[in-house]
Amino acid sequence: MMLAGPFPHDDEVPAFVIHHRHEPAECGAVFASFQGFVSPLRQRQAAASCFYGGHDIWWLVEADTAAHAFELVPAYVAKRAAVTQVERLVIP
């Protein structure tokens, strides 16, 4: 089961952050790599710093494993990405 989104499911599905970094000249290629790539991340919001010069993109996703989280992004993006498992918590 690979799901993207703001954790609509129970706490048993692991959560991951996919962090991708690219060079300024690669912005177009990063976004173009999603064309024709089937992913629940398409047409959804992600946090990105490109407009501000950072050229990082972060997706918060649910996936069974880190390997499954990597499968949510095209190979071009995955080559420069890190996947980190995170915990859902409420900040008091």
Which residue from 21, 24, 58 is spatially nearest to 41, judged by alpha carbons? Answer: 58
Q: Confidence band (pLDDT; 50, 70, 90) for 5?
A: very low
Which amino acid is residue 70, in one-letter code?
A: F
Q: What confidence tens digit (pLDDT) does each residue in 6-62 have?
A: 555 556 789 999 999 999 999 999 999 999 999 999 999 999 999 999 999 999 999
pTM score = 0.83
Quote the pLDDT of residue 8. Answer: 53
> Is residue 91 in some structural domain?
no
How many domains, the chain? Answer: 1
Asked if the structure places residue 7 within a domain, the reply is yes
**H helical segments located in the chain:** 27-32, 66-70, 75-78
Q: What is the pLDDT of residue 59?
A: 97
Give residue 27's pLDDT: 94
For residue 86 the two structure tokens come to 């995170």
Q: Give the pLDDT score at 1.
A: 40
Whether 52 is in a domain gets the answer yes
Q: Which ranges of 33-85 would DSSP assign to H, the alpha helix?
A: 66-70, 75-78
| Residue-number span of the structural domain to which 79 is assigned | 2-86
